[in-house]
Structure 1
């Protein structure tokens, strides 16, 4: 019996497979009332904190000074309060507040439909991989804590490469590993999917986080869906269409 050629889907993890909600809720719990007194929405502060951390992480990486994303995120806390309009950030919040928020980083929850997405893809013959800017132990814990199987050998971290996404060099080791085999990259960040696609992956994008794909900036992806099971079905259908 002939066996089908290997095929792969590489998933971004933080923000894609798991949501940021635990961090937003921690900001609400620890600082919510104080922030609203300053007309600052906790979730918007959390979003800008993540976005600023991603930028500084990327800038450090491309300047040859790679630092773990978690450490960048931690360092920017008081700066983000300042940028939000807090005149004395270290009087407004404390290191204990920051420690509480960072502790919740270990408790990020899976987005709806992720487990079904993996199941559909595996049943269709795909191997699922995880590629993250976080450290492997923490990020693997997200899958374990949410009851989702992701073997340790199927993880790759930017930490081990010393190169952050979206540098093309960060995606290429996986492409080199797959050779001529079918390879998809899936994420809820359009910048991530489009960068992976530009290096040779097929691109699958889920709008669950960003809502607006901004195609005028990033271009069309091979598969786009509003939820993870539908994204998996789209990948499977596109793969089958390639064979016909």
Structure 2
């Protein structure tokens, strides 16, 4: 098996790691403030993440790369305003925002993750992590699930300064593989991520 040139590159957050801890923190901290206004915390959280992902991506594509957390902070109050809260800073505080963002640092692995990686490695695949998140935080997510990811198989967009789905980000990963006899797969729960990886080789 040692001579096999087989690789599986995993997106991590949202694919291998669940967002549930984030949604629970939103409900606990902001639920009493948002629910009486008819704004569900789950849909607010989804809108916040989706808007942040769009801003993050557009910034990266225009050579203005910023870390995901910085983008999330910058649009928190704007997302509340878009949800219909005329004066969001009177309703919630920076402390509320940081509480919820802190919960994002505590996201948990999906059930069966360690077994999945183990079976792939036993079958001769090298398992990779490719994330828009920062290395320390996302590595800790994996460790909580009993998964050790060698540093040489872990790639963060923060380190290369190019966000997904820019073709150059996937090409960076492909550039690490020997092309002879290569079998490479990309695994992501997000269709845009998987399709962009496929189009990039």
Residue of structure 2 equivalent to 1:110: 109
Structure-to-structure mapping, 1:11-26, within 5 angstroms: 11-26=10-25
Check whether the contact 2:113–2:145 (CA below 8 A) recurs between aligned residues: no
Instruction: Write the deviation string for residues 166-216 of structure 1: whole angstroms up to 9, x where unpaired.
Output: 00000001111113221111011110000001111xxxxxxxxxxxxxxxx
Where in structure 1 are there 5+ consecutive unaligned residues?
Answer: 201-244
Instruction: Write the deviation string for residues 67-103 of structure 1: whole angstroms up to 9, x where unpaired.
Output: 0111101211111111111111001100110111111
Residue of structure 2 equivalent to 1:188: 189
Q: How many residues align?
A: 199
TM-score, normalised to structure 2, is 0.95
Residue of structure 2 equivalent to 1:93: 92
1:58 aligns with 2:37: no
Where in structure 2 are there 5+ consecutive unaligned residues?
Answer: none
Check whether the contact 1:140–1:152 (CA below 8 A) recurs between aligned residues: no
Partner SS state of residue 177, structure 1? coil
Residue of structure 2 equivalent to 1:205: none
Residue of structure 2 equivalent to 1:209: none
Q: In 2, Cα distance between the equivalents of 1:90 and 1:117? A: 44
Residue of structure 1 equivalent to 2:73: 74
TM-score, normalised to structure 1, is 0.79
Instruction: Write the deviation string for residues 110-164 of structure 1: whole angstroms up to 9, x where unpaired.
Output: 1122222111111111011100101101110111122222122211011111111
Residue of structure 2 equivalent to 1:238: none
Structure-to-structure mapping, 1:74-223, within 5 angstroms: 74-180=73-179, 181-200=182-201
The 3 A distance-change label for structure 1 pair 47 and 138 is same
Residue of structure 2 equivalent to 1:208: none
* Structure ranking higher on relative contact order (CA contacts 8 Å, 6+ apart): 2
The 3 A distance-change label for structure 1 pair 144 and 3 is closer
Q: In 1, Cα distance between the equivalents of 2:144 and 2:32? A: 30
